[in-house]
Chains A and B, each alone.
Chain A
Amino acid sequence: MSSSHNENYLNTPKGIWSWLTTVDHKRIGIMYLVSVIIAFALGGLFALLLRLELWAPGQQFFTAKEYNQLFTLHGAVMVFLFIIPSIPATLGNFLLPIMIGAKDVAFPKLNLASFYIYVFGAIFCLASIFLGAVDTGWTFYTPYSTSTDTSVVTMTLGAFILGFSSILTGVNFIVTIHKMRAPGMGWFKMPLFLWSLYATAVIQVLATPVLGITLFLLILETTIGVGIFNPAIGGDPVLFQHFFWFYSHPAVYIMILPAMGVMSELVATFCKREVFGYKFVAYSSIAIAIIAFLVWGHHLFVSGQSDYAAMIFSLLTFLVGIPSAIKVFNWITTMYQGSIELKTPFLYFLAFIFLFSIGGFTGIMLAALSLDVYFHDTYFVVAHFHYVMMGGTVIAFLGGLHYWWPKMVGKMYNEFWAKIAAALIFVGFNMVFFTQFLLGSQGMPRRYYNYLDQFQPLHAFSTMGTWVLGLGFIVVFVYLVRSLVSGEKAPDNPWGALTLEWKTSSPPPVHNFEEIPAITGGPYDFGKEEKNG
């Protein structure tokens, strides 16, 4: 189709306008990538500042109110603007059509609309920072959120709008996977990354409207005084928590399922192995997506919900843990008899197993009712969800970004610096957050501006960890940007992987493939390669 080999989606057509009006899933993926990196930098900056304040008890740099605004913005920006769109909207958008041998998603214009809705929502969230930044915590618990004088309405309106972006992306992905698979691409010939994106999309479509409704009710209450959550006007504050977590717990799986998908791709490619228990790994994504809807009450064990409700939620929480554990065992067993190459993406795979396992074990502790009573709202919980969200999702995002970077931009990054950065991030992360397990165990409550003197050494150590972690991210940023300018040209298939995105050029042509690929084998048929070769 293309006359010159140098023509690809990045340079054809040219011009900024062609990017802003593109309906190419790859370009939209790149635009999302730039957006979420900006969001991550912003959320990370808030984190560095709030950890600086916690260097010692009492006032260091900020007032109590400023500190409260910092941790709220850190949470809200990281959750709504970064982590939810991180893997699905960037890597997912870029890869999903290519991986099934399609030219684009089912609704390319809708895909572009999702992106602009995201930008529109993000503007509201960012505007709220200048209109009296929210100080409610990212959870917006009532009646605090309906009584504070900060810009709760602007921020929640932003999250409300972002929800639509998430829903539309989900719909697009579901339809694309159902309808756009190339001839021969059966469900069980799909890469596991797509199974996880599919499960994620189902949650996005079903759960996000509930968040939208909840935030809308909150806005109604704040602006025109309809009594829904505020007891002073006849509402019930705990109702808000139920509504909020009915979305936000499944949202945790919107964040982690795509990460699990990335793990499956990494382990297969860098071990040259078929994924152990492919069908189990595929179905467990769906199982997790379903059970994820039934565990929200584990955020309310001490909120005064009935003891029987607590019992059921505790039991279901344990059940949702099991498929995740089995996936970890499957990935590790995939390494057995493999041909393991320790490239940077695989380092992130190993880091994920390490950190996500710790997140899982501490999750078991928190799911146990009597222990959650103690740990609830302490630093133990903060540490736990950072091990899952950051140790899991962010690490997998980095792994995926390094893995697909040559495909996306057509350039190789510096492997040496990439390994140094991975090590810095791993060490820094554990310095910041393992410390917080210890703090929480000693009873240190979360969201505390000031604290007892005895906690100071651990807090200071945690703060030092953020510098190591931050340095690691800066190094990643620098060598990735450098690779764009002076990186070695990437081959079409630098890692020797078998999924379809590696069968096209790096970077891919505008319509992904010169000709529709014939699908013969499965995504991880490394064994057949052996026989043929």
Chain B
Amino acid sequence: MKTEQLVGHGWFPAAATDAASGPDSLFYFILIGSIIIFAGILYALIHFLIKYKRKSPNQLASGQLVHQPLLEISWTVIPFILVTIVFFWGYKDFLKMSIPPVDSMEVRVTGKKWLWQIDYPRYGVKTVGELVVPVNQPVKLVMSSEDVIHSFFIPNMRVKRDVIPNRYTRLWFEANRTGTFQVFCTEYCGDGHSQMLATLRVVSQEEFKDWLKAGSSGGDLPLPELGAKVYTKYACNTCHSLDGATSVGPTWKGLYGSNRPLTSGSAKADDNYLRESIVNPKAKIVAGYAPVMPAFAGLLSDREIDGVIEFIKAQK
């Protein structure tokens, strides 16, 4: 699914929430104020440079003004007033961002190297890398990490929050239009950091209900196609190439049936080996690779695991 381009009609990517108006207009307020003051600074610099340029080698300054109380008071008080306005404005919207409405729909987000697992506890639906929410409905994300610190950032919603191990953080937003939007991880988390992406899909209420019903099972796709879908959806492609290129993990090209040199001993990559490597990847580590893959036990259905194995078989 292609996400909307992160360019807007103004300075920021096009907003998809009413809450964006607060920070966006604050930004323009500071920007315009800064441009005016900066223009003043540049004017003074250029004006003085021209007017007071040294014309003869030993020319002295024409005056030694060191105090001008009115000037000094005004350039202290005016910035003070301006930053006070900016402070309250920023704080007001920050508070709105941190307090989710009581009727929010709760979604759990788990970050781990290097994917986002999304959990709809009330509906028993799980996805990876795709957050689907209904439009005009406040959504509260309750987030935690299974390893290092991550951060969940949706530019179009103007929200971001760190995702921390052993602690819950939360973030909420309410989309005001449908569409597909980009989600980034913005706390550095290692080799796959820039691939730790997700999409936010905002759909109508009806579509959302249908989507929940279909669950994330993959319906009745043929197994290899289901596997191909899982490959991108669950971000296997972050670490496993299909063209033989070495990445964080071994390539899938020619993997099936090959002999795998392990950190201790070796193994043949048959169906059971592949299944174990998916649900419990730390059991057998291929020599030369770090044991960094998260376990997919409980994340993928049996049918999806079968699909992945069939998909790997097809990568000759």
Does B314 reach chain A (CB closer than 8 Å)? no
- Shortest C-beta distance, A496 to chain B (Å), equals 8
- Shortest C-beta distance, A413 to chain B (Å), equals 19
User: Given A141-B188, A314-B91 in contact, is the A336-B162 Cβ separation under 8 Å?
Assistant: no
Instruction: List residues of chain A with CB within 8 A of the CB of B160.
Output: 302, 373-374, 376-377
Cross-chain contact A370 with B64 (CB below 8 angstroms): no
Question: Chain A, 44-81, contact with B by CB distance < 8 Å: what is the 0/1 string?
Answer: 00000000000000000001110010000000000000
Cross-chain contact A447 with B188 (CB below 8 angstroms): yes
What separation, in Å, do the CA atoms of A319 and B205 have in the docked complex? 47
Does B210 reach chain A (CB closer than 8 Å)? no
**27 residue pairs from A and B, CB less than 8 Å apart:** A143-B149, A148-B190, A232-B165, A237-B166, A273-B61, A278-B66, A280-B72, A301-B94, A322-B83, A335-B49, A336-B48, A338-B61, A339-B60, A340-B53, A361-B30, A365-B27, A368-B86, A369-B93, A373-B23, A374-B158, A376-B186, A441-B11, A447-B193, A449-B193, A526-B60, A526-B61, A530-B60
Does A450 reach chain B (CB closer than 8 Å)? yes
User: Given A342-B53, A449-B193 in contact, is the A368-B6 Cβ separation under 8 Å?
Assistant: no
Cross-chain contact B83 with A378 (CB below 8 angstroms): no
What separation, in Å, do the CA atoms of A318 and B95 have in the docked complex? 18
- Of B38-46, B215-223, B224-232, B255-263, which stretch is located at the interface? B38-46
Instruction: List residues of chain B with CB within 8 A of the CB of A325.
Output: 75, 79
Cross-chain contact A336 with B189 (CB below 8 angstroms): no
Q: Which listed residue (B90, B94, B148) contacts A143, Cβ 8 A?
A: B148
The residue on B at minimum CB distance from A368 is: B90
- Of A26-34, A303-311, A399-407, A497-505, which stretch is located at the interface? A303-311
Instruction: List residues of chain B with CB within 8 A of the CB of A449.
Output: 191, 193-194
Instruction: List residues of chain A with CB within 8 A of the CB of B190.
Output: 68, 135, 144, 148
The residue on A at minimum CB distance from B44 is: A332
The 10 closest A-B pairs by CB, nearest first: A368-B90, A443-B155, A231-B166, A369-B94, A337-B63, A370-B93, A361-B34, A448-B194, A527-B64, A335-B48
Cross-chain contact A274 with B64 (CB below 8 angstroms): yes
The residue on B at minimum CB distance from A378 is: B186
Cross-chain contact B87 with A451 (CB below 8 angstroms): no
User: Given A357-B38, A452-B182 in contact, is the A370-B26 Cβ separation under 8 Å?
Assistant: yes
Q: Which residues in window 211-259 of A have CB below 8 A to B?
A: 231-232, 236-238
User: Given A373-B23, A443-B6, A443-B155 in contact, is the A147-B60 Cβ separation under 8 Å?
Assistant: no
Does B248 reach chain A (CB closer than 8 Å)? yes
Q: Which listed residue (B61, B84, B149) contacts A237, Cβ 8 A?
A: B149
Instruction: List residues of chain B with CB within 8 A of the CB of A310.
Output: 94
Cross-chain contact B7 with A271 (CB below 8 angstroms): no
The residue on A at minimum CB distance from B48 is: A335
Q: Which listed residue (B13, B60, B90, B193) contacts A370, Cβ 8 A?
A: B90
Most A CB contacts (10 A, CB to CB) among B27, B58, B195 go to B27
Question: Chain B, 187-213, contact with A by CB distance < 8 Å: what is the 0/1 string?
Answer: 111111111000000000000000000
Instruction: List residues of chain B with CB within 8 A of the CB of A231.
Output: 165-167
- Interface residues of chain B: helix, strand, loop or mixed (majority): mixed
What separation, in Å, do the CA atoms of A77 and B234 have in the docked complex? 37
- Hey, which bits of chain A sit against chain B, CB under 8 A? 63-65, 68, 135-137, 141, 143-144, 147-149, 231-232, 236-238, 271-278, 280, 301-304, 307, 310-311, 314-315, 318-319, 321-322, 325-326, 328-329, 332-333, 335-342, 350, 353-354, 357-358, 361, 364-365, 367-374, 376-378, 441-452, 454, 496, 526-527, 529-530, 533
Cross-chain contact A307 with B45 (CB below 8 angstroms): no
Cross-chain contact A445 with B185 (CB below 8 angstroms): yes
Instruction: List residues of chain A with CB within 8 A of the CB of B72.
Output: 277, 280, 326
Most B CB contacts (10 A, CB to CB) among A135, A342, A354, A377 go to A377
Q: Which residues in window 15-53 of B have CB below 8 A to A?
A: 22-23, 26-27, 30-31, 34, 37-38, 41-42, 44-45, 48-49, 52-53
Cross-chain contact B30 with A368 (CB below 8 angstroms): yes
What separation, in Å, do the CA atoms of A310 and B42 have in the docked complex? 34
The residue on A at minimum CB distance from B92 is: A370
Instruction: List residues of chain A with CB within 8 A of the CB of B34.
Output: 361, 364
The residue on B at minimum CB distance from A311 is: B91
- Shortest C-beta distance, B299 to chain A (Å), equals 21
Q: Which listed residue (B44, B76, B182) contacts A443, Cβ 8 A?
A: B182
Most B CB contacts (10 A, CB to CB) among A135, A333, A338 go to A338
What separation, in Å, do the CA atoms of A10 and B52 have in the docked complex? 38
The residue on A at minimum CB distance from B76 is: A326
- Shortest C-beta distance, B1 to chain A (Å), equals 14
Instruction: List residues of chain B with CB within 8 A of the CB of A275.
Output: 66
Does B140 reach chain A (CB closer than 8 Å)? no
- Shortest C-beta distance, B243 to chain A (Å), equals 12
Instruction: List residues of chain B with CB within 8 A of the CB of A353.
Output: 41, 45
What separation, in Å, do the CA atoms of A278 and B67 have in the docked complex? 9
Cross-chain contact B66 with A368 (CB below 8 angstroms): no
What separation, in Å, do the CA atoms of A452 and B6 have in the docked complex? 9
Cross-chain contact B162 with A369 (CB below 8 angstroms): no
Cross-chain contact A318 with B87 (CB below 8 angstroms): yes
Instruction: List residues of chain A with CB within 8 A of the CB of B42.
Output: 354
Instruction: List residues of chain A with CB within 8 A of the CB of B13.
Output: 442-443
What separation, in Å, do the CA atoms of A337 and B93 have in the docked complex? 45
Cross-chain contact B148 with A147 (CB below 8 angstroms): yes
Most B CB contacts (10 A, CB to CB) among A135, A141, A358, A370 go to A370
What separation, in Å, do the CA atoms of A340 and B62 have in the docked complex? 11
Does B12 reach chain A (CB closer than 8 Å)? yes
- Shortest C-beta distance, B187 to chain A (Å), equals 6
Q: Which listed residue (A238, A454, A496) contacts B6, Cβ 8 A?
A: A454
Cross-chain contact A361 with B38 (CB below 8 angstroms): yes
What separation, in Å, do the CA atoms of A322 and B190 have in the docked complex? 38
Instruction: List residues of chain A with CB within 8 A of the CB of B276.
Output: none
Cross-chain contact B149 with A144 (CB below 8 angstroms): yes
- Shortest C-beta distance, A307 to chain B (Å), equals 5
User: Given A314-B90, A332-B45 in contact, is the A272-B23 Cβ separation under 8 Å?
Assistant: no
Instruction: List residues of chain A with CB within 8 A of the CB of B89.
Output: 368, 370
Cross-chain contact B66 with A371 (CB below 8 angstroms): no
Cross-chain contact B54 with A340 (CB below 8 angstroms): yes
What separation, in Å, do the CA atoms of A358 and B185 have in the docked complex? 28
Instruction: List residues of chain A with CB within 8 A of the CB of B58.
Output: 496
